[in-house]
Structure 1
Amino acid sequence: MQNQIAYLSEWGNSELDFKKQGQVESISTHFIVTALLVNKSDLPEIIPILEAVRTRYFGGASIGSEAVGNDHEKRKQILEDLDEIGFKIIAIIVDKRQLVGQGLHFKGSLFKFLHGLTDRELYSIYPDLEMSISLPMDESFMKGFIGYVQQNHISNLFNQSDFGFAAIQETLMVQTASFIAETLARCYDETVITDQRGDFIEILKSKVLSVKFWPDTFEHTLANKPEPGPSYDPLLAELSIKLANGFFNRKSSDRAQQAIDQISCLGYLLFHFKHINPTRYITSFELIEHVRARRGKNVSLHYFQTKVIAPLRDAGVLIASSSRGYKLPASHQDLYDFIGHSNTIIEPMLSRVKKFRDQIVMATDGKLDVLAADEFKLIRKVVL
């Protein structure tokens, strides 16, 4: 039985006529859906902490951005307190300006498009996910999404997905989802974007399971795009993104656990590369923890190296590595780091193989050469 529950909220509006910008108040440039995933068994511990946050920062009223507004220091303090709570974030961020000309001129067609995006992002990873929202009072995105889920995910013996309304105490989770959605809006939406956005994402990054951008363009919208130079080669960076996206396109519908873990790991690398810092290495521990959180089960370092990283590289994805961890390469140094790191492993290993082979040859007067088999011809060519 599925033990995970997602609390959903959204930010933005359905207005697409950007010619009215300035005439109509608050025509958002983006529409954002946020889901907070928690284990049901953790709720008794989470709710009291949220109650304390509500009391500390909101005077006992609802957890909401209205009480924070442009007080960015207060928002960061709240985010830091929320960072201690055991939930993970899945977000869908749509640039509505890119929808013009897509046949989505009406709210109904726009919401259908958004329903499909949200459904695929949530149920592709968690097919039995239970979801909860506050009771919608109008023809909102969430009201339509309820119908979409009920139509496409009918509960049966093999699919226990469910959609419900948050109990009174659980509305704190939905309020928190709304607060996170509004915080992400201040990172991306042109009507409320702030220069503090990098700080917000830096705090939230450990909570992020997945952020789906539409369209998924190569833009550094949060981290300042580095100037071309020794630490950043734009052409190499674009190649890294292109090859990573190619893997996503090929494997996004693959439901094998290893494929899901590979997508999860690569998504985390991409998110940091594009929206936080393209020069930062990410440790094995951080990546393994991300895979664990998404699959709900621990994975070993050996599994991570042989079933996640190695197949990604075998599929043509560029992943640099060094003693500092892993990243998508963005500079010549990243490439040399990978080759140098690999050389510290390969060269001693080949040396040991040669010594092993030479000792056997000497001991048997040349009658047995363990590298004589055809499957070892490449090794034989290198060491002999």
Structure 2
Amino acid sequence: MNKITAFADEYGNNSFQFSTQGSHFIVATVICNSDKVTELENSVNEIRKKHNFQTGEIKSSGISKHHKRRIRVLSDVVNLDLSVYAVIVDKRKLKGKGFSYKKSFYKYLNNLLYKELFRTFPQLELYVDEHGGNDYMLEFKAYVNKHHQKTLFSGSQFGIENSKQSNLIQIADLIAGTLGYIYDETKISEYSEEFKTLIKPIVSDLNFFPKDYNFSDFVESNTDNAFNPLIAEVSHLRINDFIEKESGNDQQKIDQINFLKLLLLYQRVYYKSRYISTKEIFNHLNQSREKPLKEEYFRSKVVGNLRDKGILISSSPKGYKIPTSEKDLYSFIKHGNRIILPMANRIKQMRNAIKLASGNELDLLDNPDFKELKEMLNN
């Protein structure tokens, strides 16, 4: 597996004064292949010069509410060969008074971020900012040093860098702040949807916490008249159950988990999007792979194997999605119907021709391996 390097930064704080201190806490990581770090650092340097940051840092707080300038900068950032992974915590949904204490709040986030990052990227070289008031990232470093098991995550490393010397940490800061302008109730504006659409090509996964299994909000915000909450709930629960139970200890499982998380991302965040194209899926999954995905492997070992395990995945010529309606399920059944029935008919014709020629002496389906197929054709 390719060595992956990530640079992380935070947005928000542990305050529960939502109207003045913000409703969300966000940790954004910028992820790339380790051998591309130098090239990317140079590319970010060119973006800095182009947008008149001079020798200063590219910081979200520096751009602030100059939304059009943020759009111009992000328009160049999304062309870089990197992906974004973020944990987005809605502090309003955290239950229990314990979260109002910084120690408890950080402990919850530490466990959450650690589990998600190192399970998704088993060989991860992660850097966080040591400069300024990034007290959470330094707390996270201490947590990783205490809990990180080298036997489980062989080759993983964790370190700190100064954002003044790391252009990619500055990009992590920009993305974290931009996500704040998309989701934080104190930052949302008429530009929020434009920011979301703009960064979509480089977003690999946005993990929202706490997880919400209540579908009433989803039903209210849904724009599809064919939406069936029963189908949507069954689909989501099966996917989330698989993700929670699987450890991602081999490449196939990692690919499956990342694929399902990408489907959840599009269903949860970009609810207007219908199907995700295979090309777009590959662009995301290949970020953490040594060798690019092959379509045959993806169809059989990732999608096919998940379906064998009872995961509901709808497909069409447009790509894949989580089924949320009868229409979504029928598209998969129709696809199978177009393949299965003609093939079964061809086998039947071949079988009958040989039986006729041999006076019923030779039945090609007498082989024990074809017992189920023989029963199906006989019926």
Shift of the 198–356 alpha-carbon distance from structure 1 to 2, 3 Å rule, reads: farther
Q: Distance in 1 between matches of 2:155 and 2:115?
A: 17
- How far 1:102 sits from its partner (Å)? 5.7
Q: Distance in 2 between matches of 1:82 and 1:223?
A: 34
Shift of the 211–95 alpha-carbon distance from structure 1 to 2, 3 Å rule, reads: same
- How far 1:37 sits from its partner (Å)? 1.2
1:11 aligns with 2:11: yes
- How far 1:101 sits from its partner (Å)? 0.7
1:173 aligns with 2:179: no
1:225 aligns with 2:221: yes
Shift of the 102–344 alpha-carbon distance from structure 1 to 2, 3 Å rule, reads: farther
Q: Distance in 2 between matches of 1:221 and 1:200?
A: 23
- How far 1:143 sits from its partner (Å)? 1.3
Q: Deviations over 1:273-326 (max 9, x none)?
A: 111035511122222332222333212111111111012112222111111111
1:125 aligns with 2:120: yes
Q: Deviations over 1:70-91 (max 9, x none)?
A: 3333323322211111111111
Q: Deviations over 1:229-282 (max 9, x none)?
A: 23x33333233222221222222x241321111111111111001110355111
Q: Distance in 1 between matches of 2:219 and 2:195?
A: 12
Per the normalisation by structure 2, the TM-score is 0.90
- How far 1:224 sits from its partner (Å)? 9.0
Q: Deviations over 1:191-230 (max 9, x none)?
A: 1123433332323233222222111225799999234623
Per the normalisation by structure 1, the TM-score is 0.89
Aligned to 1:327: 321
Aligned to 1:270: 264
Aligned to 1:36: 30
**SS of residue in 1 equivalent to 2:200:** helix
Superposition map of 1:233-382 within 5 A: 233-251=228-246, 253-277=247-271, 279-382=273-376
Q: Distance in 1 between matches of 2:290 and 2:189?
A: 34
Amino acid at match of 1:226: N
Aligned to 1:108: 103
Tell me whether 186-195 or 321-330 shows the greater mean CA deviation.
186-195
> Mind listing any 5+ residue stretches in structure 2 that lack a counterpart?
none
Shift of the 220–194 alpha-carbon distance from structure 1 to 2, 3 Å rule, reads: farther
- How far 1:5 sits from its partner (Å)? 1.5
Shift of the 283–40 alpha-carbon distance from structure 1 to 2, 3 Å rule, reads: same
Aligned to 1:77: 72
Q: Is the 8 A contact 2:74 2:199 kept in 1?
A: yes
Shift of the 137–79 alpha-carbon distance from structure 1 to 2, 3 Å rule, reads: closer
Shift of the 346–158 alpha-carbon distance from structure 1 to 2, 3 Å rule, reads: closer
Q: Is the 8 A contact 1:47 1:169 kept in 2?
A: no
What RMSD, in angstroms, separates the aligned Cα atoms of the two structures?
2.7
Q: Is the 8 A contact 1:247 1:315 kept in 2?
A: no
Q: Is the 8 A contact 1:136 1:142 kept in 2?
A: no
Amino acid at match of 1:341: H
Shift of the 37–223 alpha-carbon distance from structure 1 to 2, 3 Å rule, reads: farther
Tell me whether 217-226 or 158-167 shows the greater mean CA deviation.
217-226
Q: Is the 8 A contact 1:2 1:130 kept in 2?
A: no
Tell me whether 359-368 or 371-380 shows the greater mean CA deviation.
371-380
